[in-house]
Amino acid sequence: MFDFIKDNLILNDPLILGANISIVFTVIGIVATLTYFKKWKWLWNDWITSVDHKKIGIMYILAALIMLFRGGVDALLMRAQLTVPNNEFLTSHHYNEIFTTHGTIMILFMAMPFLLGLMNVVVPLQIGARDVAFPYLNNLSFWSFMFGAILFNMSFVFGGSPDAGWTNYAPLAIEGSPGPGINYYLLGLQISGIGTLLTGINFVVTIIKMRAPGITLLRMPMFTWTTLITAFIIVFAFPILTVTLALMTFDRLFGTHFFTLTDGGNPMLWSNLFWLWGHPEVYIVILPAFGIFSEIIATFARKTLFGYKSMIISLAAISLLSFVVWVHHFFTMGGSAALNSVFSITTMAIAIPTGIKIFNWLGTLYKGRIEFTVAMMWSVAFIPTFLIGGVTGVMLGMAAADFQYHNNYFLVAHFHYTLIAGVVFACFAGLVYWYPKMFGLKMNERIGKWAFWFFSIGFNVCFLPQFVLGFAGMPRRVYTYGPEDGWTALNVISSVGAFGMGVGFMIIVYNVYYSYRYGKREETGDAWDGRTLEWATSSAIPPHYNFAHVPEVKSVDAFYYMKQEGEVPSRENVEYKPIHMPSNAGTPFIMSGFFFVAGFGLVFELWWMAILALIGIFGCMAFRSLSSHKQDEGYYVSVEEIEKTENPNKREA
Amino acid sequence: MFNKFKPYLIVLISLVSLFFIIIFSSGSEMIVLDPKGPVGAVQKDLIMLSIYYMLGIMVVVLSFFTVILLKYRSSKKSDYKPEMHGSTKLEIIWTLIPVLIVIALSIPNTKALYELSEPPKATAHKDPIVIHATAVDWKWIFSYPEEGIETVNYVNVPEDHPILFKVTAADSMASFWVPQIGGQIYGMPGMVNDLYLQADEPGTYDGRNSNFTGEGMTHQKFDFVAMEEAKYEEWVKDVQAGEPKLTEKTYEKLMLPGTVEEMTFSSTHLSIVDHGKNSEYAFAIREKYGATENSHGADVDAGSAHDGHGSHEVNEGHDSHGNEGGQDDQENHKSHEGHEH
Amino acid sequence: MAHSTNVDPNTPLEYQTDIGKLNIFGFWIFLGAEVALFATIFATYFALEGGTVGGPLPGELFDLKNTIIMTLLLLISSFTSGLSINELRRRNVKGMMVWLIITLLFGAGFLYMEISEFLHLIHEGAAIGTNAYWSSFYLLTGTHGLHVTLGILWIILVMFQVKKRGLNPDTAKKLFVSSLYWHFLDFVWIFVFTSVYLLGMVG
C-alpha cells in the first residue's frame, strides 16, 4: 500500500510539488476552519444533502470557478512556455499534460457546470416551479459531476495526468500511453457524464411538465428555451460519450479491440464517435450562452426580444445540424471529395441560424434604451467577438481550405473566439446578472467594468495574433519552436494578452470579496427591473419554495407585463396554503463517493476496490428504491413559516 | 476627471494593441498565403475568397452594431419602441442572405476539393513521381519505389513535377504538412492516403507532422527540397550508387520512438513491410527491443526528446541535401546508431 | 410535487400522483437516452463487423435454433409482463405477481441460454479479446444481457416492495416503469437478433 502511494505520488516536478503542498495546506485550512466554527453539520445539512435547485446551482458555479482557475493556470503555463523560442520552462511531457487537462477541464469541468449551475438557479424560477422535476436526481447529478472532476484533477498529483490531448485520439491514447493518465481521463469523464445525462433528463421533464399555469411553450423565456433544447441534445449526445469512453476503457483494461491497431480494431472509429458526441457538446455549451445573452440584452435594452419565434426555430435548427457535422473535425483523414463537400455544406449551414440570432440581437438593441451595466457589456462585447469566431468557423468549414488550417493556430484562435467570447463571456454575464438572485447583492459595477476591460481586451490581444500564427504555419500542441520560424513576436503579444485575461479573472474574484464586504443588500427581488419570472420573487434571494403562490402568466416577458398592467401579486392580506417540498438526501453523495472509489480502482486496476465500490453503488440504488416512498413524501412548509418569510417586516411593524 | 476620459482611454488601449498586432503580423511570414505550388495556390485562392466574403459580412454587421450602440444608448433619448418584437420581412432577408453566401462559398469549395484530389492540371502531361511518406514516432521516412531509394527526415523532389505522396504511418496518427506547398493529410497505420503536391520553384520548404503524436511531435519535421529536374536526377543516381542499402536491422531501429538525423539509403523499406497494410509491425519491433513509449518514465523521455532538439539545430546548419550529401549522411547514420539507447 | 387532490378514480393507479406522472415521463426520456446508447453500440458493431482476423467467423459458431429459442423466451416474457400490468390495472395483486414471476422465469431462461452461449463461444476460441468483431459482439449482446440482469433484479426489488406495502400509486408506478423497461429490452433484442445473428449467419 505504502509502495503504491510512493510510486504514484509525483514529487519530482517543482511545479507539481508546489501544487501538492498548497493543496495539503488548503485542505488542512478548510477542515480546521469548518471544525473551529462547528460548521460540519451546517455543511452537510444545508449544502451537501440539499436538493434545493438554487443551492445546487451555486455549488455548480463555485466548482466551475475553481476549475476555471485550474484551467486558467494551465493556460498561463502554456503561454509562459511559448512566449520565447526554445524555452525550457516546461518539458515536452509536462506541456502535453497541461494542454490536455486545460482542454478537458475548460469544456467539461468549467463551461458545462457553470452553465448547468446557472440553469439550476434560474430555470425553475423562470417557469414558476418549486424545484426541478427530480430533486433527488439533481443532487446526484451534482455530486457525480463533482467526484468525476475530483478524480480527473487528482491525476496531476497522483499517477500523472492524461497527455493525449482532450480529444484523446487512438492509437496514441491506447498503444502510445501506458500508465494511469488516460484511465483518469476515461473514468473522470465517465462519472461526471452520468451526472450530466441525468441533468439533461431532469430539465427536459422539468420544463415540459412543471411550468406554471399560462406559460405555454411560446411564452417561455429564451433562456428556458435554450435549456430545453440543450437538455434534449444532452439526452441524445451523452450516451454516445458513455459508450465511447467505455470502449476505450475496455481496450485499455480488458484487452478488447475496438480502437486498437491490432486484431481488426479501428482507431478512426474513436475519432468518429468522439466527435459525434463532441460536436453536439459544443452546442450544449453555446446554446445556453445564447439564452443568457438573449435575457440580458432584452433586459438592458429595455425591449422585448426581437424575433422570438425565429430565435426558437434557429435554436432547433442548430441543434439538429450539430449532429450532422462531425466529419469536419477530420476532413484531412482522407475522406473523398464528395464526402468532404457534403460535410462542408452542413457545417457552413450552421452559420445561417447563427446569423439569424446575431441579427435578432441587433434588432433587440435597435430602438432600445441601452444601459451599459457590466452584464450588458459582456453581452454586447459578445456580438463582435463571436462574429469573428463565427466567420472564421465558416472559413474552417470549407474543407479544401481546411487542409491548410487544420491542426494549426488558426483553428486554436477560432475555437477560443467561439468558446470564450460565446461561453465564458456568457458565464460572466450570467454570474453578474443573476448574482443578486443567488446572494442577495449586486457585484460592484465599477470593479466589474475593470475586470471586463482587462479580460476582453486581453482576450483579443491573446487570440487575434493566433489567427496570423496559423497562416505563418505554427501547428497547435507544439511545446516550443525555433527563432527561425518567425513566430516569436506574435507569441509574445499573445502571452501578454493571456496575462491580461488572468488579471481580469483575479479582479472578478476580488469583486466577489469586495461586494460581499461592502455591497448594498438588495431589498426586493427585482434587482435589474427584470422582465422574466425569476425577478418576481418576494425577496432578493428567493425562499426555498420559490413562490408562495404560483404565478399566473399571460405573455412572454411575464414579469414585465405584470408590472405594466399593475398585476404584480400583492403580499398583503394573502391566504397561504402549506407548500409541499422534497426532503434532503444524503444517499447521492455517498453513492457518488462510491463512483469515485470505483473509478479510482479502475484507474489503477485495483479490481477488489472497484468491485467493492460497484457493490456499494448497487446497494445505494437498492436503498433508494426501497426508501423512495419516504423520500418522495417530502414535507410541508407551514403557513406560519410562509407568512414569516413573505412578510418579514410585518411583525416588526 | 478620470471618468471623463475613460472611454477614450479604453479605445486608445484597444487601438494600440491592434496596431502592435498588425505590425508584428507583417513581420512574420504568412507562408500559407505565399504558396510555391499549384496545390497551395488553389487553397490560397479559396482562403482569400472566403476572407473577402467574411470581411464584407463583418463590415456590414459591425456598422449596424456600432451605429445602434451609439444611437440607442439610454442617455441619448432616441426613438424608443419597447414593444417592437420582430419583422417577418427583415427576418426573411437575413435568413436568405446567409443562405446565398453559403451557396456562393460551397461551389468553389467543392470544385477545389475535386481539383485537389487529382494531379495539378498545369503539369498533367507528366507522370507523377510516387513517394511513400511514412510517419514513425517522431520521424518521416520517404521511399521512392521507382528509384529504389529511401530518405529520412528530408525529401528531394524535382520542381514543376507532380508528386503523388502516399501517406501512411507506422504507429500514431500523424499529419503530413508542407504549408508553403499545399495542405495536409493524415497518415494512419494500416491505411494509405493520397496527396498530390508540386513545387513551382526550387527551394527548401519546412514540412512537418502537425498532428499530436506524443512527446517528440514538436520535432517531427522534415525538409521538402525542390530542385531543378536535372539536379534531381543527378541526386537520384548518386544515391543509388553511393549510399548503403537499408538493412532490416537499421529499419527496425528506426521503428523505435525518438528523433533522428537525416539519412539516405539506396533501397526502400517497402520490401520489409507495407505499413499501409500492416499496422502491427512497429509495435512488434518495439516489443522485440523492449522499448515502449512510457509516459510514466516522463523525465527520461523528455530529456531524450530535448537532445533530439539540440541535434536538430545542428541539422539546420547542414543544408547539403543535394549532390555531395552522401558522406554526411553516412556520418549521420552512424551518429544515429550511437544515439539509440 | 404535491399529491393531486381531485383524482379521477378511473385514472390508472400509477398516474394518480404528480410524482408518478413525472417519473413515468422522465423514464420515457431515459429510454430515449437508452436508444442513443444502443444506437452507438450498434454503429460500433457494424463498423467493426469486418474485423474478424485471427478468430473464428460468426457464421461458423452461431446456432440459429438456440437464438430463436432465446428470442421466443424474451418475446413471451414481454407478453407476460404486459399481462401483469393488465392485472395491475384490475388491482389483482396475486394475478399480477404470478405473471411477474413467469416473466422473470422466462427472463432468467434467456439469460441462462445467453451465458451458456457465451461459454460455448469462448470455448470455441471466440472471446472478447479475440478480435474487433468478437469485442463488438460481446459489447452488444453483453450490454443487452447486463440490462436484462439488472431488469430482473429490479423487478424482484419492486415485487418485494409490493409484497411489503401493497398496491399504491408509488408501487404501481414502479411496476409500470419496470415493465416499460422490460418491453424496451425486448425491442432492442429484436434488433440484436436480426442484425447480429440473422445477418451473421448470412454473412
**Backbone φ and ψ of B157, nearest 5°:** -135, 155
CB A381 within 8 A of CB A435: no
Nearest one of C192, C185, C191, C188 to C106, comparing CA atoms: C185
A336 inside 8 A of chain B by CB:
yes
Q: Are β-strands B203-209 and B193-197 bridged in parallel, bridged antiparallel, or unpaired?
A: unpaired
* CA nearest to B56 within chain A: A391
Q: Do B30 and A96 touch (CB under 8 A)?
A: no
Q: Say if the Cβ atoms of A407 and B86 lie within 8 Å.
A: no
Of A359, A402, A475, the CB nearest to B94: A359
Quick one: which of A140, A152, A151, A141 has its CA closest to A106?
A: A152
Q: Which residue has the higher pLDDT, B6 or C11?
A: C11
- Sort strands B129-136 and B203-209 into parallel, antiparallel or unpaired: unpaired
Task: State yes or no: pLDDT of B84 exceeds 90.
Answer: no
DSSP state of A524: S
Q: What is the pLDDT of residue C6?
A: 64
Q: Which three cell numbers stand for residue B165?
A: 505522396
**pLDDT tens digits for B9-45?**
777 777 777 777 777 766 678 899 999 999 999 999 9
| CA pseudo-torsion sign C191, C192, C194, C196 | positive
Instruction: In whole angstroms, give the CA distance from residue A488 to residue A485.
Output: 8
Residues of C in contact with A209 (CB under 8 A): 21-22, 25
Is there a contact between C135 and A257 if contact means CB atoms under 8 Å apart? yes
Q: What is the pLDDT of residue B324?
A: 38
Please report which helix (H) or strand (E) contains residue B23, including its range: helix B2-27
How do strand B139-144 and strand B129-136 relate by DSSP bridges?
antiparallel
Residues in chain A, pLDDT under 70: 649-653
A266 contacts on C by Cβ (under 8 Å): 47-48, 51, 132
B193: which chain A residues are within 8 Å (Cβ-Cβ)?
333-334
- Supply the pLDDT for residue A501: 96
From the list B113, B214, B302, the residue facing A399 with the nearest CB is B113
Nearest Cβ partner for C1 among A204, A240, A580:
A580
What is residue B223's three-state secondary structure?
strand
Put simply, whether C43 touches A (Cβ < 8 Å) is yes
| Cβ contact C101:C23 at 8 Å | no
Check pLDDT > 70 for residue B310: no
Interface residue C112 vs chain A (CB under 8 A): no
For residue A649, what pLDDT is reported?
A: 65
Of the candidates C37, B132, B287, C192, the residue with the CA atom closest to the CA atom of residue A261: B287
Q: Is A395 on the interface with B (CB under 8 A)?
A: yes
Q: What is the pLDDT of residue B83?
A: 86
Do β-strands B193-197 and B163-169 pair in parallel, antiparallel, or remain unpaired?
A: antiparallel
Residue B6 C-alpha cell reads as 475613460
Distance from CA of A582 to the nearest CA of C (A): 8
Which spans in A370-444 are helix H?
374-397, 399-405, 409-418, 425-439
Taking only the tens place, the pLDDT of each residue in B176-221 is 999 999 999 999 999 999 999 999 999 999 999 999 999 999 999 9
First to last CA, chain B: 69
Q: ipTM strictly over 0.90? A: yes
Closest residue of chain C to A255, computed from CA coordinates: C129
Mean pLDDT of B134-159: 95
Burial call B72-96: b when 16+ CB within 10 Å, e when fewer: beeeeeeeeebeebbeeebbeebbe
**Residue A624 parent element (H or E):** helix A607-633
Alpha-carbon dihedral angle through residues B291, B295, B299, B305, given to the nearest 10 degrees: 70
Burial letters A177-199, b for 16+ CB under 10 A, else e: bebbbbbbbbbbbbbbbbbbbbb
Q: Is A241 helix (H, G, I), strand (E, B) or coil?
A: helix
Residues of A in contact with C28 (CB under 8 A): none
More confident residue, B321 or C159: C159
Mutate to test the interface with B, among A102, A270, A299, A332 (most CBs of B within 10 A): A332
DSSP state of C55: S
- Gap from A152 CA to chain C (nearest CA, Å): 23
* Nearest Cα to Cα of residue A78 among A505, A494, A566: A494
Residue A593 Cα distances to A157, A616, A620, angstroms: 20, 9, 11
Interface of A with C in 34-93 (CB under 8 A): none
- Give the pLDDT score at A392: 96
Under 8 Å CB-to-CB from A306, ≥6 apart: which residues? Answer: A360, A361, A362, A363, A364, A366, B84, B85, B86
- Number of residues that make up chain A: 653
